[in-house]
A and B are shown apart, each in its own frame.
Chain A
Amino acid sequence: MAADDVTADHDPTYVTALAAVLEKIVNTALTYDPATKVGLQKLENHVLAVQITEPQLKLYFVVLADQLDVMAHCETPVATLLQGSLQDLIKLASQPSTSLANSGVRVEGQIGLLSEYQQVLSQLDIDWEDALASRLGDLPAHQIAQALRAATNWIKPRSRKAASFTADFLTEELRVLPHKLEVDQYVQQVDQLREASDRLEARLQRLLLQQAQQQQ
């Protein structure tokens, strides 16, 4: 399908910029979840298009050579198309009991691709702390990760028994944070380690000082 989304008199700069930002976020996140990254490889070359009707916006997702590409324009035929208003897509994502039939979201093409995405993404386990810490240092990373988790909590499914796998797919995709318990435990361990190493350093300093005094 020659894409008709970006016509010659439509400035593609903005949608492309949005695609670039999304692509960057997703792929940075994926480097912190190598297992999912490997799992994604079996979806290679299948283009998933998401068309938001209000506001008008169409983005393409495809797994290619070790990365998820997000695009404003795609020359490869689309395997699966999801179409709906932003509101409906979010609603479907946030209320897993909504069935696809009355969600206002339309699916076209290869529906199996969605369940495959779902399968891979349901195992998504991104270590946000780790991801952020390598950029920001431990402490702010922990706080930001907690804020991120709080902010995305409302979107998590209340029931694990989702009515349709599409809803599941969307919610699972958005369930990207590790459990609070895991994070707290991790931070505790880091703190313990830091205290232990502080003590060790202090002892070393003392020993070195003693040694220096003895030599005088």
Chain B
Amino acid sequence: MSEEKTTHFGFEQVKVEEKAERVADVFHSVAAKYDLMNDLMSGGVHRIWKKFTIELSGVRAGDTVLDIAGGTGDLTAKFARLVGPKGQVVLADINDSMLKVGRDKLTDKGVVGNVHYTQADAQYLPFPDNSFDCITIAFGLRNVTDKDLALKAMYRVLKPGGRLLVLEFSKPQHALLEKVYDTYSFRILPFMGKLVTNDADSYRYLAESIRMHPDQETLKGMMANAGFSETKYYNMTGGVVALHKGIKA
């Protein structure tokens, strides 16, 4: 980061104080059509990525789970079933539009009773130390201004033995796939975004933010830096997405 405290917003440089606001605009804008776009953009594969995340979480009845940057609550819904009536899931997001879409969706689905909703910033988690058995952040970390700060915050609120799962776009492992993927995300994505949400800019930001996000090994190192042990990652769909896992010893 440079002297005058700027950070990237997609490919643009913006003031650090500004990034959160710009990210918020993006998600306010896409909240209503977020689920639809997710299915369209990934051809439904995001459901598979999320299913594997749940499997790797090892979450059991009675556990307490934090789904930060949880948005419209796909993971939260699955966790709510696994932790059962004695467990607890906190769906937290910085953006109240996303949170509202999530809450309405889960309530309609009958997912109630063990889910709590909190507006919170991943960098400054408003929970006591050692609170959660498991934390997930799915397609959220790349939007966070200071990722190291967020990873440390997550480490703090995890119980010893608790695990963090980071599901995020990453670096495709083959040159050809990377090329195809680039074309897709820089040309087709914004176009689809324009058609469905009339908002090409938000989806251009999405493509750019994916590119700027740390690759597999870098993120693994950042997690270790934040204190996590047994850090590892799984490349999915050729590395288009990676699932990182770390344990608080």
Chain A residues close to B by CB (< 8 Å): 6, 8-13, 16-17, 19-20, 64-65, 67, 71-76
Residues of A with C-beta under 8 A to B81: 64-65, 67
How many chain B residues touch A (CB < 8 A): the figure is: 21
Expressed in whole angstroms, the minimum distance between the Cβ of A193 and any Cβ of chain B is 33
A16–B57 Cα distance when bound, in Å, is: 14
Residues of B with C-beta under 8 A to A71: 55
> CB distance A16 to B232 under 8 Å?
no
Task: Select B55's contact among A8, A67, A73, beta carbons within 8 Å.
Answer: A73
> CB distance B55 to A16 under 8 Å?
yes
Binary interface encoding of chain B residues 21-64 relative to chain A, with 1 for a CB under 8 A from any of its CBs, else 0: 00000000000000000000000010111011001111010000
In the complex, number of A-B residue pairs with CB atoms less than 8 Å apart: 50
A71–B78 Cα distance when bound, in Å, is: 14
Residue of B nearest to A18 (CB): B48
A20–B58 Cα distance when bound, in Å, is: 17
> CB distance B235 to A11 under 8 Å?
yes
Expressed in whole angstroms, the minimum distance between the Cβ of A64 and any Cβ of chain B is 7
Q: Is B82 an interface residue (CB 8 A)?
A: yes
> CB distance B55 to A74 under 8 Å?
yes
Residues of A with C-beta under 8 A to B238: 11
Answer whether A16 and B235 are a contact pair too, CB < 8 Å, given A65-B81, A65-B82, A65-B84. Answer: no
> CB distance B47 to A75 under 8 Å?
no
> CB distance B60 to A16 under 8 Å?
no
Residue of A nearest to B239 (CB): A11
Q: Which 7 residue pairs across A and B have the least CB separation, nearest first?
A: A75-B58, A73-B55, A16-B52, A13-B236, A71-B55, A13-B237, A17-B48
Q: Is B234 an interface residue (CB 8 A)?
A: yes
A72–B236 Cα distance when bound, in Å, is: 13
Residues of B with C-beta under 8 A to A76: 58, 60
A139–B228 Cα distance when bound, in Å, is: 58
Answer whether A8 and B58 are a contact pair too, CB < 8 Å, given A64-B82, A73-B52. Answer: no
> CB distance A16 to B51 under 8 Å?
yes
> CB distance B234 to A6 under 8 Å?
yes
> CB distance B52 to A13 under 8 Å?
yes
Chain B residues close to A by CB (< 8 Å): 45, 47-49, 51-52, 55-58, 60, 81-82, 84, 232-238
Expressed in whole angstroms, the minimum distance between the Cβ of A70 and any Cβ of chain B is 10
Residues of A with C-beta under 8 A to B48: 13, 16-17, 20
A13–B55 Cα distance when bound, in Å, is: 12
A180–B236 Cα distance when bound, in Å, is: 44
> CB distance A72 to B52 under 8 Å?
yes
Expressed in whole angstroms, the minimum distance between the Cβ of A31 and any Cβ of chain B is 15
A selection of 25 A-B contacts at a CB cut-off of 8 Å is A6-B234, A8-B233, A8-B234, A11-B234, A11-B235, A11-B237, A11-B238, A12-B234, A13-B45, A13-B48, A13-B49, A13-B237, A16-B51, A16-B52, A16-B55, A17-B48, A19-B51, A20-B48, A64-B82, A65-B81, A65-B84, A71-B55, A72-B55, A73-B55, A76-B58
A13–B45 Cα distance when bound, in Å, is: 9
A73–B60 Cα distance when bound, in Å, is: 14
Residue of A nearest to B216 (CB): A8
A74–B58 Cα distance when bound, in Å, is: 7
Expressed in whole angstroms, the minimum distance between the Cβ of B82 and any Cβ of chain A is 7
> CB distance A20 to B47 under 8 Å?
yes
Residue of A nearest to B47 (CB): A20
> CB distance B51 to A11 under 8 Å?
no
Residues of B with C-beta under 8 A to A16: 48, 51-52, 55
Known: A13-B236, A16-B48, A20-B48. 6 other contacts (CB 8 A): A12-B236, A20-B47, A64-B81, A67-B81, A76-B58, A76-B60
Residues of A with C-beta under 8 A to B236: 11-13
Expressed in whole angstroms, the minimum distance between the Cβ of A190 and any Cβ of chain B is 31
Expressed in whole angstroms, the minimum distance between the Cβ of B177 and any Cβ of chain A is 11
Expressed in whole angstroms, the minimum distance between the Cβ of B122 and any Cβ of chain A is 24
Residue of B nearest to A8 (CB): B232
A12–B55 Cα distance when bound, in Å, is: 11
Expressed in whole angstroms, the minimum distance between the Cβ of B109 and any Cβ of chain A is 14
| Max chain A Cβ within 10 angstroms of own Cβ: one of B45, B47, B52, B82 | B52
Residues of A with C-beta under 8 A to B51: 16, 19-20
> CB distance A75 to B56 under 8 Å?
yes
| Max chain A Cβ within 10 angstroms of own Cβ: one of B55, B56, B234 | B55
